[in-house]
Amino acid sequence: MSNNLVCLHCEIKAAKGPKCVNCNRVFHPKCVERLNIEVLNSEQVVCCNVDADNSESSAVIKYLNSAAFSDLVSEIVQRETLDLRIKINEIKDELEAVKSSNKDLIRLLSKESCQRDDVINKSGINNYNNASLPFRKSQFPYNFVDELSKKRQESECSIEILSEVEVNSSGKKNSAMNNKKVQSDKFVDKAGHGVNTIEDAYISKDKVGNENGNWHQPRYLRKRNKSSIVTGIKQSSHLLTVEKKHFYYIGRIDPSMSSDNVVNFIKNDLQIANVSCDLLSDKGEFKSFKVGIPQSAAANILNSDLWPCGAVIRRFYSSQRKVNNITSKTNNVKSGNSNFSTDKEKSAVV
């Protein structure tokens, strides 16, 4: 609702009535009588005074809403945008010039370069820790002093320890520090800031150092307590043993078949004795069995040519879920549930 149509006295919309000559506000005739305003005639009143400031404000508002002001703003934005683009291009050119002149420095400050080149020798460590000796940057790789403290938290760098080399009678070089564990002290850079202790390094058993200079920290191997298991091979008549069995899953067998039928088939057709067979499930459509066969006779058990069409044979793998299902079925039998049967035909051993 426009404010000019709301009466100043009752604050109700007035469609018709006296109108202010300055602000064009409409009043109810009865409200004009109650207000202390100047009445010019029956259609015009004066409820507000227009001063010079208001006229100037109106002129400014009118100019801000004009097309000339919009064109001026667009021109300024376009000019400043062009200047900014020129400055950005100049900065890009300067940056490319800096990159081209400092390619080696950028490569050395990268993480991969720190892992590859952050290597110091034994004499450098001793001289660096000795405060009485003057500091000589040439004793160290030039990226060690400047970047070691920064890169220490990101990557672990190894230390190359140069040891004396001995030559034996056969002409083979032997290191005096072979397979020796070396641990460095804590280092302090030029600014006096502490640097984390460098991890242990191991000297190669057959070489003084890696030919490529790439040292790798050995992986930590946890010592596990494993018991030794042996299997006897001697033939003895005084102590008898039982041959190990392999268990297989036999599925999709007709519901009319029993464990005895499966055992007889394996015994007669596959020529395998000492077979155990347990009924796993009876889903109505088919039966499944767990068959145990001696290890020596289980070579051809997975030959599809020896089994009837449609039978499923695979190695038997027990799981906790299946054990829980069998336990629940056993509980159903104890509670008198008729859906689970315990016939003697469900288990057979020959």
DSSP of 165-227? EEE-TTS-EEETTTT-EE----EE-TT--EEPPPPPEE--SS-SS-TT----PPPP-------
Exposed, middle or buried, 122 (CB in 10 Å: 0-12/13-18/19+)? middle
Determine contact, residues 190/145, Cβ cutoff 8 Å: yes
CA distance linking residue 173 with residue 165, whole number of Å = 6
CATH: 3.90.1170.50, 3.30.70.920, 3.30.70.330, 3.40.50.2000. Which one for 245-322+343-349? 3.30.70.330
CA distance linking residue 316 with residue 243, whole number of Å = 18
Q: Where are the alpha helices (DSSP H) in 102-130?
A: 103-109, 111-117, 122-129
CA distance linking residue 123 with residue 139, whole number of Å = 8
pLDDT above 50 for 330: yes
CA distance linking residue 179 with residue 167, whole number of Å = 17
Helix (H) or strand (E) holding 347: strand 347-349
Out of 63-77, 142-156, 175-189, 244-258, which region has the weakest mean confidence (pLDDT)?
A: 175-189
Q: What is the pTM of this model?
A: 0.31
pLDDT above 50 for 178: no
pLDDT attached to residue 222: 74
pLDDT band with cut points at 50, 70 and 90 for residue 185: very low
pLDDT above 90 for 173: no
pLDDT band with cut points at 50, 70 and 90 for residue 80: very high
pLDDT attached to residue 279: 93
pLDDT above 80 for 70: yes
pLDDT attached to residue 76: 93
- Domain limits of the chain? 3-50, 111-202, 245-322+343-349
Out of 97-111, 279-293, 297-311, which region has the weakest mean confidence (pLDDT)?
A: 97-111
